Amino acid sequence: MKTIVLLFVFAIAIATSHGFDLDHGIDNNMDSPKLRSFSRNHYDYDITCSSWRLGVEANNIIRFKTIPAKCKDYIRNYLLGDQSRADIKAVLSEAYSYAKSLDIIKAGNYTWVFDIDETLLSNVEYYADRGFGTIPHNATAFNKWIEKGKLPALPHSLKLYNKLLALDIKIAIITERPETQRKITVKNLRNVGYLKYDKIIFKDTTKGIYKGKTTLVYKSVERKKLEKEGFRIIGNIGDQWSDILGTSRAVRSFKLPNPLFYVA
């Protein structure tokens, strides 16, 4: 009897140790038998990881250090398959439609802001080598990779970049990369086809003004400076919400997909 009571207490302890379980008491078979006949059970695994990815893209899931280990293959397939390319293309086609719809005057200082990593250039190769986001960020290893200056362009971003230039829109690049990586970054950008821009802003880490500040704050301050110089920010593209939210926002901002990591 004592053992049974103990087991019972133990079972309750386990059940409650998971904290707030949203599934508890919910009948997950709400669909009608007809709807259920359309569902394919072998998608269950993907649905969990695609819900996670949707949560990340919608800025509901934040501050994650690594992706869920069980989603490694899902993220690999997403990034290396057609879906990621299609998602990126959809975002950038929309951005171009918007830019084209504007009445651009050459002297009007119409400006488009771009982020670099995972926006103009891709680090997918680096993350492929390091478990597709399942391993915590290693700044030393990442900087080593950046210093090689061998990042490829995101093909659709390069295309949009050239189309914006053809529309007489100015380009401003704001990156989280530090001043010390300016030379290799400019070289890398040039080598893959990003030749012309009016501004390229690196994070000044020497004066300490951005010490302890988030990317969201840093990029907001730099956009404000651009505005004061006469740039009119009509568009902004980044792979993190911190690239595009905050103050001095663009008239329209575009979020590229990035299921690999989170930057506040």
Helix, strand, coil content of the chain in percent (nearest 5) = 50, 10, 35
Q: How far is the CB of 144 from ligand NAG (least distance, A)?
A: 6
Which residue number, 30 or 139, has a Cβ lying nearer to ligand NAG?
Answer: 139
What number of residues does the chain have?
Answer: 264
Could you say whether residue 239 binds Mg ion (CB under 5 A)? yes
Could you say whether residue 141 binds ligand NAG (CB under 6 A)? yes
CA dihedral 218, 221, 224, 226 (to 10 degrees): -60
- Angle separating helix axes 182-192 and 139-147, nearest 10 degrees: 50
Q: How far is CA 136 from the centre of its chain?
A: 16
Identity of the amino acid at 187: K
Q: Of Mg ion, ligand NAG, none, which one sits near residue 239, judging by CB under 5 to 8 A according to partner kind?
A: Mg ion
DSSP structure class, residue 153: B
Question: Contact letters (x/-) for Mg ion, 118-147, by CB under 5 A?
Answer: x-----------------------------
Count of residues of this chain found to bind ligand NAG when the rule CB under 6 A is applied:
8
Q: Of Mg ion, ligand NAG, none, which one sits near residue 222, judging by CB under 5 to 8 A according to partner kind?
A: none
Q: Of ligand NAG, Mg ion, none, which one sits near residue 115, judging by CB under 5 to 8 A according to partner kind?
A: Mg ion
Q: Of Mg ion, ligand NAG, none, which one sits near residue 229, judging by CB under 5 to 8 A according to partner kind?
A: ligand NAG
Task: Scan residues 216-245 and list those touching ligand NAG (CB under 6 A).
Answer: 229-230
Read off φ and ψ for residue 16, nearest 5 degrees: -90, -15
Which residue number, 170 or 219, has a Cβ lying nearer to Mg ion?
Answer: 219
Q: How far is the CB of 193 from ligand NAG (least distance, A)?
A: 26
Token couple for 221: 């301050």
Q: How far is the CB of 145 from ligand NAG (least distance, A)?
A: 9
Strand partners, 199: 172
From candidates 55, 108, 152, 178, binder to ligand NAG by CB under 6 A: 108
Segment interacting with ligand NAG (CB under 6 A) among 4-12, 82-90, 112-120, 138-146: 138-146
Given a contact cutoff of 8 angstroms between Cβ atoms, the answer to whether 251 and 244 are in contact is no
Could you say whether residue 117 binds Mg ion (CB under 5 A)? yes
Count of residues of this chain found to bind Mg ion when the rule CB under 5 A is applied:
4
DSSP structure class, residue 88: H
Distance, in Å, from the CA atom of 231 to the CA atom of 110, rounded to the nearest integer, reads 6
Burial (Cβ within 10 Å: 0-12, 13-18, ≥19) of residue 1: exposed
| Interaction site with Mg ion (CB under 5 A) | 115, 117-118, 239
Note the residues at the interface with ligand NAG (CB under 6 A). 108-109, 138, 140-141, 144, 229-230
